[in-house]
Amino acid sequence: MRPIKVAILGFGTVGSGVYELIETKQDLLEQLLGGPVRVDAVLVKDVGKSRTIHDDVLVTDDFSEILRLPELDVVIEAIVNVEPGYTYLRRAIEAGLYVVTANKELFANKGFELRQLAEKRGVKVCFEATVAGGVPIIGALKQLLRFNQVVKVEAILNGTMNYILTKMREDQVSLEEALLQAQRLGYAEADPANDVEGFDVLFKVVILLELLTGRKIDWDLVRCSGISDITPADISQASVRGERIKHVGSLVVDDQGQVEAEVRPVSVGESHKLYAIEGVDNAIVVTGDLTGDLVFQGPGAGKYPTASIMIEDLVSIFQSIKKAAVSR
């Protein structure tokens, strides 16, 4: 089999993790896919910066150069913001390439359009890494729970906020101090607004809603608030009641497919499935009409969890192509 040829867009934590794993896990990939996987190109902002990338890999800041590569199969995108990612991925799909993305802001805004375009073009867009990092929640909903109607989802989808709320309670410190600790440990960005104001969770809730309903979701439907108003007093009052404050994204889908969704801090008691989720973990409680409450928990971010789940997407694409070819 000829190699599967990959371009990686973005070489930050996740992008470089994908590169590293493809380099170091060739044996496993060959075993899973029947042939090697080769990184042919990496798209970066600054080509001058020094990076540990093999000499025969094209390192460029020009996406058109990547599209001109012969026999490229798949684009793995791990950059931030809606643009330039959306333009890149649209062009990739139009050129008949498969796409794997971790970009939640892009996918919340333009995922519906990208999936429609991919269907027309006969390729796939995989987005497991956009929600809950290393937790395979998209696959569970798409592949494992099709006969169940998902009637409710309640989830902790931002590890930074969950870490801050856990720290505030455990160490009885202010939000500012807990945030500083999170930044020191690399859990929070220098500009934490996307996390702390709840937008990051909003993106993920929109992605889940579009997956569950098959429709383009109007964001105005989703009330969104973050944790910036939460005080140590709120936390200790909750503790007195035996409760913990968690930042929760929730959605309900009724019989007619109508949705209600909300992103906000919630005080939960010990019997709530999200009570015990601490630190940087994410957790998703999925209520199926038949199977009841299922909880999926794990690291919501991080280099290898996120990169590995993107390669799981890559594997699923090419295993299903292989299967189809075998049955031909």
DSSP state of 148: S
Beta carbon of residue 322, minimum distance to a second copy (angstroms, whole number): 11
Q: Is 49 a catalytic residue?
A: no
Q: How many residues bind a second copy (CB under 8 A)?
A: 49
Q: How far is CA 184 from CA 171, 177, 198, in A?
A: 16, 11, 21
The piece of 93-101, 162-170, 184-192, 289-297 that touches a second copy (CB under 8 A) is 289-297
Residue from 72, 106, 135, 175 touching a second copy (CB under 8 A): that is: 135
Query: Please, which of residues 68-127 interact with a second copy by CB under 8 A?
Result: none
Token output for 226: 């973050």
Residue 147 binding a second copy, by CB under 8 A: yes
To 5 degrees, how large is the angle CA 104–CA 113–CA 73?
A: 80
Pick one of 6, 8, 29, 66: the residue that binds a second copy (CB under 8 A): 29
Query: Is 315 among the residues that bind a second copy (CB under 8 A)?
Result: yes
Q: Which of 26, 62, 96, 144 binds a second copy (CB under 8 A)?
A: 144
Q: Is 24 in the site for a second copy (CB under 8 A)?
A: no
CA 161 vs CA 79, 188, 261, 265, 279: distances in Å: 21, 9, 19, 10, 9
Among 57, 69, 140, 151, binds a second copy (CB under 8 A): 140
- Four-CA torsion 192, 197, 203, 206, nearest 10 degrees: 170
Of 5, 104, 124, 204, which is the active-site residue? 204
Cα distance between residue 249 and residue 199, in whole Å: 11
**Whose CA is closest to 35, among 71, 72, 1?**
1
Say whether residue 219 binds a second copy (CB under 8 A): no
Choice between 68 and 120, CB closer to a second copy: 120
Q: Does 47 bind a second copy (CB under 8 A)?
A: no
Closest to 298 in 3D by CA, of 178, 156, 189: 156
CA–CA separation, 218 and 209 (whole Å):
10
Residues forming the active site: 204
Per CB under 8 A, residues contacting a second copy are 21, 25, 28-29, 32, 134-136, 139-140, 143-149, 273, 275-276, 283, 288, 290-299, 302, 304-305, 307-309, 311-312, 315-316, 319-320, 323-325, 327-328
